[in-house]
Structure 1
């Protein structure tokens, strides 16, 4: 067959695969399917949502005998895109895959096996910060595996505590080289990978605050995605965003929308030589992360969570779960949400448990990977929102699970969204044949404002489903128990009891606590509770009610168990009855022609004379108006007959119309606003047009940013020009003038002139202590920039001798200049020569003023490094006073490894003289410690001596 014939054959097979998938996903449209071409848009033309697209990839894999990368789920816009990847893989003669998940498991069992790693037990100390926890694990057992990243059956990548520690140190140093300062915010828009953990802990090691963000799922929604992310980035005032190379291409647009954002970088661009150790100074009460809410009822809010909050929550949860270091956490949850990041990854880190992660996209395309990973790694703890369990029920065939053993799975968390009683029951019934135990299913409740966990089942038990009288509950808010045989009963799943050291209560709208089985507003308090929303005082005030925090959720308590009924902002009040949209949406989503999970119910017209109207918006792929009218009528009838609810208006809309959060939750309020503005079904536009509109809207900001950048470079050029104008005559005069005092005056006034020309304000405290220096003394200063020597030269009017690295004497033209200023060279690399240099200086320095930088060197990271002993041994031997000096501002003005100086002031504080108490080593050590403590206090720098 010719190449063109093969191409046509493969295109036909691809079109058949798409048609088969559409027929299975939308059987009601089997006879009216749109024509499939290689350029058909998967979403707008064919109506394939994320789950259906995932099913399509599975069908294509089986038809063509290839294994497609899971990122194709978000990257492919047309069948042609998928075919291109198939042809690329076929050209490489891929291995033929078996259809059965059992054969895949048998073939790769050794790959997924965690191996014979020694998982010895150990006592975990009380950590103050996350970085302290990682540092401890890296020091105590660096080769112990922290996590396995499952990319697919044949690609499982491990990451040890030691490797994570080293990678985080590299990222931290790279952040410092991009001018990050303490408590700056670092946005992480990275998929599940080792890179995410390097970036997260690298930010912490730099004493910055990581801000997890979710990457865009589909290019067709890029405009809306960037706008929502810009809201978060502006609230966080992020200075750096670490992301994937594809997103970096949009850096100019993003920076145009976020004035504070200075750098959009890939991890490779942040990767640098590792720091010697993390920057210290973080405390337990400091913000550890900003966890942004999903924004299901409004704009995302940044929940400020301290290290102490996180450890209190993790510790309370572990106490309930009775975790052991033999436990294995398996998760496919995204790392930008609290349940995936805090509840899974950070809790595993804290306790030293084994963690197994995989991409959410991999789970969506092949949900059986999740269950096989639990089997192969002996997973004991694993979480999922309700829809994940539902996806397993719908997408996994029995033959794919042949030989599966889920008996190790002791806690299957079900949270992060409403828990469906039907899903709970059906999952237990279906997977019990593969060892899943009834008591393993654990509906839970939590929220970002409490880190993650708030209620857990107190002990292993069957899920508890409460049946309550519909009339009493909707009219009076009383959860009156009725028989499970009552077909009209409302059903609520118990989310367990409040975790230790925390408390919950139910209150009415006036804040009065309600009795048991009375529905109302849920509040909580405890050591995990946030201090508020980051840079959002108004929402923080709404959050707090004295010591209690409002969850925004409604529910009731019975036998100390929490039962949730819905969200306050979603509540619909009709004829004195409380109606929750979730029940309507679930019933409507089961109808033919309606896309399940893509139905939104809300009240519109609040405050208008005719009162609120109940609106139901349902997505469908059907185009026939007659059939759509029939569906609308059926929705009204079912709502009235089954739920006794009158629907005022039903809208049948196309796929991807109902807005959702990154976690798949319905954004009902956003849907309502779009409906009221008449923008519900917005026409999808090409990506280039969306980006062009964003760029056009931010042209002013981008122009201002360009001007600022140009101004910085102009300043840098002028600073170096001024340096040349000053240094040349200073160099000439020092080389020809007689006497050290005269030469020093040239250097002193030359340095002051340079500060004047570059607009560098020299702020000094206790400057008289430098003007009245005794003839014999030792001046010691912190060292963070090449500018430090110039700053001291500008402030000290009398001759001093700097102790400098010997390498400077090898620079052409400098040796005579430095010698005539009585600069004393010392060896840094050769220990023996360094000791000899120190002895030589001590023997010849009597009566001279010596200036030491006892740190010896500097780098881009903040903090005071360990002090070398030369200065203090010299002071002790000569019985001369030590004068501590703290310089701040030079690191920002000219950081290490950078040659573009920036404007800004420099501050210098001169401490009181420190007298030596003897001439021995012990006295020198005491001098060093006293001087270092003084400089630490005066400079405000973190202490890099601490470990």
Structure 2
């Protein structure tokens, strides 16, 4: 089980945390066991025992891990939340905290001194005035692994019933407010075992990650899996990665890490920021699993990444396309490790629910520098214990190769959502309809995009991710630093709005407008809006919140300030 490592924690393996001065801080699993038990005892003393919710608002990776494991050991339910540094805008963060605190109703919040005031305000705003804060000073652990702190917590139970609630993790909120997902001990253990089988995770592996620990990819893949298996893990904060992606690569090219996971953005970003001469002396031949998930994969950016690392032993077959979501703990499907990930090009302008998808071309991720309109990366086959089907609007299962909505069932599926009032909201009896559109071809899943972020014109669906991929493929000088696309309908007309972040040249704008016009129907009105750097609303994990941006656009005076670069913005229908 996931807490078995506490029975005989290792002294030579553990957690390496990146420090801002360029060094790494190592803490053994033996020491982590001491700190987790100390925190568990303190939580029990504070009344946060079995079944009580404890929220975690922590930046420091080691503090987060020890608090998370200590909460599990106490029998309480951790509810990790994004720290203030993950969301731009103080008022937006206050509103976010208020929503999540009303849903999870924590007894205690483990946080840091710098966040105490904003967390207290969030609790009070959510009516949780009796909830208490525990700060790092209250959890200080100056002892050593062989002091009395290493003794078991009274009443310690490492093996919990499958149906008992283990964790509440929040969705990214890319299409609305984040939802609290109720992960049971059974679904958590099932998905951890599925990930171990999928990646062939062994005692000889080690992991490197820069993803935020409060969200499923970083939480389960970057923390729970390494700790539960007792393998070394190298952890950076997202801001550290953005400052120096070379440090992440050093974990895999110098320090021996063999597995990592990141959105496609991370690989493309490293390819842009790291110079070939900086990789001198690195060896990536042991890097056998580079998982890509969370967003549409930039296949051209990934090809640039493999071209950069290829001379130093990195093989394209190490690229592992995957599909997952918080509702399935983390992973739903993945390319078998070591096989390589497939690419297909479809006619994205001819997608109709229930009809077959025509594949026009095929390629291999990392080997072929192709991308843009219609190119999709395969997300593999379902992980052990899970079932994936594609259904039509009525929920009827569609034949293989047909386009529709992805539905999931199986042992990894969570126990529903934590409702706004704290009540459980179950998934549908026939499984989770994900809101993602895609198809299965040759046994492998391909994800096209979010159903709520598309528009259907004359029976054909057009997805925001397709338009964004097409614009990203545009090699005209003067491209923006960020770009997001939103669809919507007002006053009887369908619109596509392209939000560009940062300065663009007139040549780029003209070329981009021509690109969008060429792949959208004449009946679709088009607008380009330009904003300053940071104007695009994003989730705590970096995904654009397209629907939120559209809604703010229809409420003048709210949200960031945008100027019209071309076209005319949509206006709300008169009341």
TM over 0.5: yes
2:401 corresponds to which residue?
A: 517
Cα offset for 1:452? Answer: 0.6
1:566 counterpart = 2:437: no
**Alignment deviations for residues 454-503 of structure 1 (CA, whole Å, 9 cap, x no partner):** 11113522321112234443687532122469999621111111112211
- Label 1:346 to 1:251 Cα distance change in 2 as closer, same or farther (>3 A): closer
The 3-state SS of whatever aligns with 2:554 is helix
Match of 1:344 among 222, 230, 235: 222
> Are 2:102 and 2:421, in contact at CA under 8 Å, matched by a contact in 1?
no
2:500 to 618, 623, 626: 618
Deviation track 1:705-764 (CA, whole Å, cap 9, x = no partner) reads xxxxxxxxxxxxxxxxxxxxxxxxxxxxxxxxxxxxxxxxxxxxxxxxxxxxxxxxxxxx
CA 1:406–1:222: 2 relative to 1, 3 Å: same
* Structure 1 gaps, min length 5: 1-126, 685-947
Matched, 1:283 2:152: no
**Alignment-derived partner of residue 413 in structure 2:** 529
Aligned to 1:178: 46
Matched, 1:204 2:79: no
CA separation in 2, counterparts of 1:307 and 1:195? 23
Q: Looking at secondary structure, tell me which structure has more helix per residue.
A: 1
Aligned to 2:136: 267
Aligned residue in 1 for 2:468: 585
Question: What is the CA–CA distance in structure 2 between the aligned matches of 1:650 and 1:432, rounded to whole Å?
Answer: 38
Say if 2:7 is the partner of 1:136: yes
Deviation, 1:256, is 2.1
Q: Decide whether the 8 Å contact of 1:137 with 1:352 is kept in 2.
A: no
Contact 2:99 2:420 in 1 (8 A): no
Is contact 1:416-1:446 (8 Å) kept? yes
**How far does residue 284 in structure 1 lie from its aligned partner after superposition?**
3.3
Instruction: Compute the displacement of 1:374 (Å).
Output: 1.1
Report the counterpart of residue 16 of structure 1 in structure 2. none
Count how many residue pairs are aligned between Structure 1 and Structure 2: 543
Q: In structure 2, how many angstroms separate the alpha carbons of the residues matched to 1:274 and 1:286?
A: 27
Length-normalised TM-score, structure 2:
0.87
CA change 1:287–1:409 in 2 (3 A) is: same
Deviations 1:269-302 (A, max 9, x none): 2347948523436433211111100100111111
Contact 1:189 1:242 in 2 (8 A): yes
* Structure 1 residue matching 2:482: 3-state secondary structure: coil
Within a 5 Å distance, the mapping from 1:89-488 to structure 2 comes to: 127=1, 130=2, 132-138=3-9, 141=10, 143-151=11-19, 155-217=23-85, 221-261=89-129, 262-271=131-140, 274=149, 276-278=151-153, 279-280=155-156, 282-473=160-351, 477-483=355-361
User: 1 CA distance for matches of 2:531 and 2:38?
Assistant: 50
* Distance 1:220-1:511 versus aligned 2 partners, 3 A rule: closer
Shift of 1:222: 1.2
SS at match of 1:582: helix
2:309 & 2:538 partners in 1: Cα distance? 30
- Residues 502-522 of structure 1: CA distance to partner in whole angstroms, max 9, x if unpaired? 110000001111112111000
Q: For 1:218 and 1:582, locate their aligned partners in 2 and report how far apart those are by CA, in whole Å.
A: 23
Distance in 2 between the 1:365 and 1:619 partners?
20
Is the 1:175–1:270 contact (alpha carbons within 8 Å) kept by the matching residues of 2?
no
CA distance in 1, matches of 2:254, 2:532: 41
Cα distance in 2 between the residues matched to 1:538 and 1:514: 35
Equivalent pair of 1:470/1:488 in contact (CA under 8 Å): no
Q: Distance in 1 between matches of 2:423 and 2:545?
A: 19
Q: Equivalent of 1:603, from 467, 488, 500?
A: 488
Question: Which aligned pairs between 1:662-673 and structure 2 lie closer than 5 A?
Answer: 662-673=540-551
CA distance in structure 1 between the aligned counterparts of 2:87 and 2:459, rounded to whole angstroms: 45
CA deviation vs aligned residue, 1:511-570 (integer Å, no higher than 9, x gap): 1111121110001111111110123599976842x2321111110001110000001111
> Which string of whole-angstrom CA distances, capped at 9 and with x for unpartnered residues, describes residues 617-654 of structure 1?
222336xxxx77x7665443221235567443222222
Q: Measured at CA, do residues 665 and 154 of structure 1 come closer, stay the same or move farther in structure 2, by a change above 3 Å?
A: closer
CA distance in 2, matches of 1:135, 1:256: 36
Matched, 1:636 2:513: yes
Give the C-alpha shift of residue 167 in structure 1: 0.6
The two structures, once aligned, show a CA RMSD in angstroms of 2.8
- Output one character per residue of 1:323-369: Cα deviation in whole Å (capped at 9) or x when no partner: 21011111111111111111232112222222221222111100000
Q: Which runs of 5+ in 2 are unaligned?
A: 142-147, 364-369, 563-575
Could you tell me which residue of structure 1 aligns to residue 573 of structure 2?
none
Report the Cα distance in structure 2 between the residues aligned to 1:361 and 1:578, rounded to whole angstroms.
36
1:320 and 1:384 map into 2 onto residues whose CA distance is 17
Q: Cα deviations across residues 553-592 of structure 1 (Å, max 9, x unaligned)?
A: 1100011100000011112112322101112223345455
- Residues 218-275 of structure 1, C-alpha deviation per residue, up to 9 Å, x if partnerless? 8971111121122112210012212221111335423321322522231222347948
Residue-by-residue CA offset, 1:790-809 (whole Å, 9 max, x unaligned): xxxxxxxxxxxxxxxxxxxx
Q: Distance in 1 between matches of 2:18 and 2:371?
A: 44
What SS does structure 1 have at the residue aligned with 2:121?
A: helix
Partners of 2:201 and 2:372 lie apart in 1 by 40
